Amino acid sequence: MPGTPPTRFSYLGPEGTFTEAALRTIPAAEHGLRSPARSVPEALEAVRSGEADAALVPLENSVGGAIPVTLDELVTGSPLMITREVLLPVEFVLAADALKPLAALRTVAAHPQASAQCRRWLQANVPDAVVIDVLSNAAAAISAAAGEFDAALCAPIGVPRNRLTVLAEKVADRAEAVTRFALVARPAAPPPPTGDDVTSLAVSIRHDQVGALLAVLTELAARGINLSRIESRPTGEQLGTYFFFLECTGHVAEARLGEALQGLRRICAEVRFLGSYARHRLQPEPPVQPPAGLSDADFADSAAWLARLRTGN
């Protein structure tokens, strides 16, 4: 219900993964009902069906890039809206059922994405160990706790839950790796602007129109809107047709972004508004400022000037 804080949360499971750790940074979710889902589509379907008020799903990783299934799901089916983003540093731990020297390890359980992000570390520190693919970081922790493998690469949240012993902390090839998650709910009025916001859109262009993508970008650039991300995904309808996932600085309540959305509505085959929400920053940074003459105050002033012209004042 609009205006009612969510109390029931779905998330990409299983328990003991980075998604659960990210969800639990949200106070309402920490004190609410959390239900793991088997997949991103299942987590989002729980919101569409009313079984959950909101779902947390991964959107992109600083090493691996976009999560295609999430982008695809956001532009298909009944509309959903991103209400919040969560950034979580991805720091794996190497853990086992008891304290063991690294040189003694012969098998390490890991999700393929985890082992890919820790490949060089594993080669340097446990060169004799064979990495065994498992379905999730949680499954890796569970299997190590059961003694099926000598150790596991897992999320820190999985250590106390499975009574594991940490053999190495902050295991990663890139210490700055971060995963970005989106909290998704049914459409409602977006959260109020904070002055440092992100707006997400999905647009479909007319593929037989020359310069259609340039026209889309021009609608944003002409109004001083910073485009921070663009991803193309096939529509699945026919070869050569795509939708574009766009993220830009600003909030739908701002005049300049509102004008840009109207422009996109005129020139695109379809525009799906995916939400305006506060940017999550791990380190304090000043928000991106619009160029001179393109602030919201400038747009309000020019609109008032035009109104005076039309009324003869």
Weakest mean pLDDT among 114-118, 268-272, 281-285? 281-285
Superfamily of segment(s) 1-89+178-189? Periplasmic binding protein-like II (3.40.190.10)
DSSP assignments along 213-264, one per residue? HHHHHHHHHTTT--EEEEEEEE-SSSTT-EEEEEEEES-TTSHHHHHHHHHH
93-168: CATH topology: D-Maltodextrin-Binding Protein; domain 2 (3.40.190)
Rounded to 10 deg, the angle between the 296-311 and 255-267 helix axes is 70
pLDDT band at 251 (very low <50, low <70, confident <90, very high): very high
Compute the average pLDDT of residues 77-99. Answer: 93
Contact call for residues 51 and 8 (beta carbons, < 8 A): yes
For 141-213, list the strands marked E by DSSP: 151-154, 165-171, 178-185, 197-204
Whole-prediction pTM value? 0.84
pLDDT at 208: 65
pLDDT at 77: 85
Q: What angle do CA 8, 21, 99 make, to 5 degrees?
A: 140
Using DSSP bridges, classify how beta strands 151-154 and 54-61 pair: parallel, antiparallel or unpaired. Answer: unpaired
Q: What digits encode the pLDDT tens for the residues 238-249?
A: 776 788 999 999
Domain with CATH 3.30.70.260 in the chain: 190-312
Dihedral pair phi/psi, residue 163, rounded to 5°: 55, 45
Q: What digits encode the pLDDT tens for the residues 46-77?
A: 999 999 999 999 999 887 788 889 999 999 88
Contact call for residues 140 and 118 (beta carbons, < 8 A): no
Q: What digits encode the pLDDT tens for the residues 4-45?
A: 778 899 998 888 888 999 999 999 999 999 999 989 999 999
Side-chain-side CA neighbours of residue 31 (13 Å)? 4
pLDDT band at 117 (very low <50, low <70, confident <90, very high): confident
Using DSSP bridges, classify how beta strands 107-110 and 151-154 pair: parallel, antiparallel or unpaired. Answer: parallel
Q: Between 261 and 209, where is the model more confident?
A: 261
Domain with CATH 3.40.190.10 in the chain: 1-89+178-189, 93-168
Q: What digits encode the pLDDT tens for the residues 290-302?
A: 888 888 888 888 9
Residue 2: pLDDT over 70: no
Amino acid identity of residue 19, one-letter, is: T
Contact call for residues 296 and 256 (beta carbons, < 8 A): yes
Q: What digits encode the pLDDT tens for the residues 130-179?
A: 999 998 888 999 999 999 999 999 999 999 999 999 999 999 888 788 99
Superfamily of segment(s) 190-312? ACT domain (3.30.70.260)
